[in-house]
């Protein structure tokens, strides 16, 4: 399960950001995960508490926002892609080789004891 290593990386980044803003306990973090990324949200959620033990994030709430896959169809422009269809337009089945969004893994927000940081765009 590589989600444990993903959790550890997110914890490392979150702790660094927290220390840059005066330290303190992290109460919650928000992560954006693209539908087309290699991260399984449920597995990350399961791995997170054990990985956070003994860190500034021990007991923190992990919120995951799923980001849909969006491709560029030559006929229909931006289209939301379906995993089961692959990189093909859901309207005309044309190949959409360019993934515009959906492979993100971003730390989007932290709630520190007394301070909230949003839109971090870190990973």
| Residue 33 near residue 68 (C-beta atoms within 8 A) | no
Mean pLDDT over the full length of the chain: 90
- Statement: the pTM of the whole predicted model exceeds 0.75: yes
Q: Within 10 A of 66 (CB to CB), how many other CB atoms are there?
A: 12
For residues 12-27, average pLDDT: 89
Q: Where do we find the tokens 């926002």?
A: 65
Beta pairing, strands 105-112 & 26-34: antiparallel
Residue 100 pLDDT exceeds 60: yes
- 49 — phi, psi (to 5°)? -60, -45
Q: What would the pLDDT profile of 38-81 be if each residue is shown by its tens digit?
A: 899 999 999 999 999 999 999 999 999 999 999 999 999 999 99
Domains, the chain, ranges and CATH? 3-68+101-115 (3.30.2320.50)
| Residue 36 near residue 102 (C-beta atoms within 8 A) | yes
């Amino acid at each position: 399960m590589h989600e444990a290593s993903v959790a550890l990386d997110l914890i490392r980044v979150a702790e660094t950001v927290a220390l840059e803003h005066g330290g303190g306990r992290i109460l919650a973090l928000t992560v954006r995960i693209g539908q087309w990324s290699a991260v399984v949200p449920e597995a990350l959620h399961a791995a997170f508490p054990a990985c956070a033990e003994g860190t500034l994030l021990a007991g923190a709430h992990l919120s995951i926002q799923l980001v849909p896959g969006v491709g560029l169809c030559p006929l229909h422009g931006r289209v939301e892609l379906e995993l089961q269809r692959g990189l093909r337009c859901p309207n005309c089945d044309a190949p959409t080789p360019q993934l515009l969004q959906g492979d993100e893994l971003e730390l989007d927000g932290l709630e520190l004891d007394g301070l909230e940081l949003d839109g971090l765009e870190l990973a």
